[in-house]
Structure 1
Amino acid sequence: MTGLGEHKLEYETVGPFVTHVWLHHKDGHNHYAARPVRKGVRWIRPMQLSKKEQTEYVVCAKKINYWVAVLFMVGSSLFAIPGFLPASLAPAFNVIFFCGSIFFTSAAYLQLVESINKDITNPALFRTQRCHWIRWAWRPKNLGYLSSLVQFVGTLLFNVNCISPFFLVTPLQMDVVIWGSGMLGSICFLISCAFAWLEISRDPMVKPFRSEEWWIVWVNIAGSIAFQVSSAVAFYLPQTGDVFAPVLASVGLTFGAICFFIGAFLLRVEDAIDSQKFIGGDYAQ
């Protein structure tokens, strides 16, 4: 139990990780789950704010989630496009992939910032009186933070994976740097998904096949598995320098990118539904 003057915070955990928090105050209590708060879908009313200030706070909090979704959709589209283009355009694929990786990394960093600033393990979140952003912090008890941090590392590895073909020429170099960074990046994505799933696994409000959160997490899991399969078979043969299984690698990459696009689009759907609830007064406290 953590004190906030007249207010008290009580945490619910999975192992060492906080998944829910109760805010006890003189008028009763409020219950918050980590992921909806992190994504701006279930907002925390800062104490002692007017209705106008509350609205401004919510709009500010939702902006970063908007850009996370948009940047992930653009990046996913760029990773998916080469799968539908003829082989004659293959020389341009590396440029497209590299551009996609930049959008991925930008979105992942914004999501990391979001997880730092919307962290229910941080008591200061409940006292915030204006929307401002801390750009780096250590939040080890927050599964959303760990998921975002590992994902960000994965996107950096994909930056290496996508830019290296412009500089490396031998099969050994390509296997060590290009294939290696792709494999590690895909493993990071899978670990990130595991944290994301654990974050919602005990939330009674998340209904399998019926909740946007459930679909977002599982579509991203499917995309990460597809990326892992694609990376695993994309190593270079030492005799020829050719990719071991180019068709499977391309199909896996394209399918995974489509899954990530759907997951990012569902973030916008989730946010739009929540905005209607806010406008309709469902969150009046």
Structure 2
Amino acid sequence: MNGLGEHRLEYETVGPFVTHVWLHHRHGSDVYTARPVRKGVRWIRPMMLSKEEQAKYVVCVKRINYWVAVLFMVGAFLFTIPGFLSDSYSAYFDIIFCCGSIFFTSAAYLQLIESINKDITNPELFRTQRCHWIRIAWRPKNLGYLSSVVQLLGTLLFNVNCVAALFAVTPVEKNISIWLPGMLGSICFLLSCAFAWLEIYRDRSIKAFRSEEWWIVWVNIVGSIAFQISSAVAFYLPQTGDVFAPEMASGYLTFGGGCFFIGAFLLRVEDVADTRKFIGGEFVQ
């Protein structure tokens, strides 16, 4: 438990990771859970701010969530669209995937920034009076932060995977520079999803099959499994240099990209639904 003058913070954990924070004050207590705060859809009321100042603060913290969703949607769309194009466009597929990976990485980086600054394990979050973004920090007790770090690593590996596809020639080069980073990147996505699930599974406000947050996490889990299957069967045969199961790899990649697009779109649905509670400058807890 930490003190904030007249206020006290009490943490609820899963193992070493903080999932809930109780803010005790003279008027009672408020509870905040990790993911909704991290995504900017449940707002921590900064202390001693007027309603007008609170409105400015909310707009600032929500802006980054907007761009995370949009960039993930664009990246996912680019990973999905080649699956619906004919083979006559196959010469452009690697370029499209490369562009998609850049959008994925941009979104993942913004999500990491978001997890650093909207960290309920940081007492300063409860008394900040302006929106100031910290770009580098270590938040080991924050599951959202760990999920974002691992996801960013996965997107960087896919950057390597996609760029290498433009240059690698021999089967050995392809397996080392394309297949291996793709496999490791997919494993990172799965691990990121595991952290994301741990972050929400004890959140009583998130209902299975009924909450956007639940669907976002599970759609991304399914998408990550599809990417993992696609990566696993996309290794190059040393005799011919051909992909082991090209149709299967393409199909699961397309399906996984579609899942990630839906997950990113649901981020916007979640955000817009919550923003409706903040009409006319009224802060709604």
TM-score class normalised by the smaller sequence: over 0.9
1:56 aligned partner: 56
Contact 2:55 2:283 in 1 (8 A): no
Cα separation, 2, equivalents of 1:253 and 1:282: 44
Deviations 1:174-221 (A, max 9, x none): 111100000000000000000000000011111110000000000000
**Alignment map for 1:44-83 (pairs within 5 Å):** 44-83=44-83
1:172 aligned partner: 172
Deviations 1:20-43 (A, max 9, x none): 000011111110000000000100
Q: How many residues align?
A: 285
Cα separation, 2, equivalents of 1:21 and 1:279: 26
SS at structure 2 position matched to 1:24: strand
2:200 aligned partner: 200
TM-score where L is the length of structure 1: 0.98
Structure 1 segments of 4 or more deviating over 6 A? none
Cα separation, 1, equivalents of 2:280 and 2:172: 60
- Residues 1:7 and 2:7 aligned together: yes
User: CA shift at 1:132, angstroms?
Assistant: 1.1
Cα separation, 1, equivalents of 2:283 and 2:59: 14
User: CA shift at 1:284, angstroms?
Assistant: 3.8
Cα separation, 2, equivalents of 1:280 and 1:208: 32
Cα separation, 2, equivalents of 1:250 and 1:42: 38
**Alignment map for 1:196-275 (pairs within 5 Å):** 196-275=196-275
Contact 2:19 2:34 in 1 (8 A): yes
User: CA shift at 1:92, angstroms?
Assistant: 0.4
SS at structure 2 position matched to 1:242: coil
Q: Percent identity?
A: 77
1:102 aligned partner: 102
SS at structure 2 position matched to 1:20: strand
- Residues 1:117 and 2:99 aligned together: no
Give me the CA root mean square deviation. Answer: 1.1
SS at structure 2 position matched to 1:8: strand
Distance verdict in 2 for CA 1:281–1:203, change over 3 Å = farther
TM-score where L is the length of structure 2: 0.98
Distance verdict in 2 for CA 1:236–1:198, change over 3 Å = same
The amino acid that maps onto 2:215 is W
Deviations 1:56-94 (A, max 9, x none): 000100000000000000000000010000111111000
SS at structure 2 position matched to 1:166: coil
The amino acid that maps onto 2:110 is L
